[in-house]
Amino acid sequence: MPPDRATHLISAAKQRHEMTRAKAIRALRELDRTGAAVTFSTVARAAQVSRSWLYSQTDIRDEIRKLRATTAPPRRPAAPAAQRASAESLRQRLAVMQQRIHNLVEENQRLRNQLAIALGEQRGRTRPPTAAPPDHSSVTITRP
């Protein structure tokens, strides 16, 4: 490749890199300004860049991590102990569901058997159609 082409390609690549960095930083600042969640995914989506590219930019990566820690949504507190299901309660619910599944499997099999019997009886009541004698007459195809 002639040196002048390489110079132009290198220059274009540097320019594209700087423009991409500017988009990412602008998206990062906008998300922070609006109070939206700042994560690698939200920044990547807003800046239209890949998350892997964001991870490769150390200064942007550090800023996202810093902002993510300060804007993290509060975690929901766990349900009070009185409202949590006990292990015995969960076992009881599981046993009930297993019995329900067993009953449904049996019902399904019973219905399949009934259907098979009904179809067999229906087939026995219908007579096969009588075969019509084959038509051996010839047909001549003419052109209009």
47-68 pLDDT, tens digit per residue, is 999 999 999 999 999 999 998 8
Note the pLDDT tens digit of each residue in 20-56.
999 999 998 998 888 888 889 999 999 999 999 999 9
CB atoms < 10 A from the CB of 37, how many? Answer: 13
Distance in angstroms between the alpha carbons of the first and the last residue of the chain = 70
76 pLDDT more than 70: no
CB atoms < 10 A from the CB of 106, how many? Answer: 10
133 pLDDT more than 70: no
93 pLDDT more than 90: yes
How far apart are the C-alpha atoms of 38 and 55, rounded to whole Å? Answer: 14
Domain positions in the chain? 8-71, 84-124
Sign (positive/negative) of CA torsion 11, 14, 16, 18?
A: negative
Taking residues 63-77, report their average pLDDT: 75
Q: Is 24 exposed, middle or buried (0-12, 13-18, 19+ CB in 10 A)?
A: buried
Q: How many CA atoms within 13 Å lie on the side-chain side of 125?
A: 6
Residue type for position 77: P
Which residues, in sequence order, are CB contacts of 42 under 8 Å at separation 6+? 31, 36
* pTM, to two decimals: 0.47
* Average pLDDT, rounded, for the chain: 84
Q: Which token pair is 64?
A: 């996202």
Q: How much is the pLDDT for 70?
A: 79
Taking residues 83-98, report their average pLDDT: 91
How far apart are the C-alpha atoms of 138 and 144, rounded to whole Å? Answer: 19
Q: How much is the pLDDT for 45?
A: 93
Q: How much is the pLDDT for 44?
A: 93
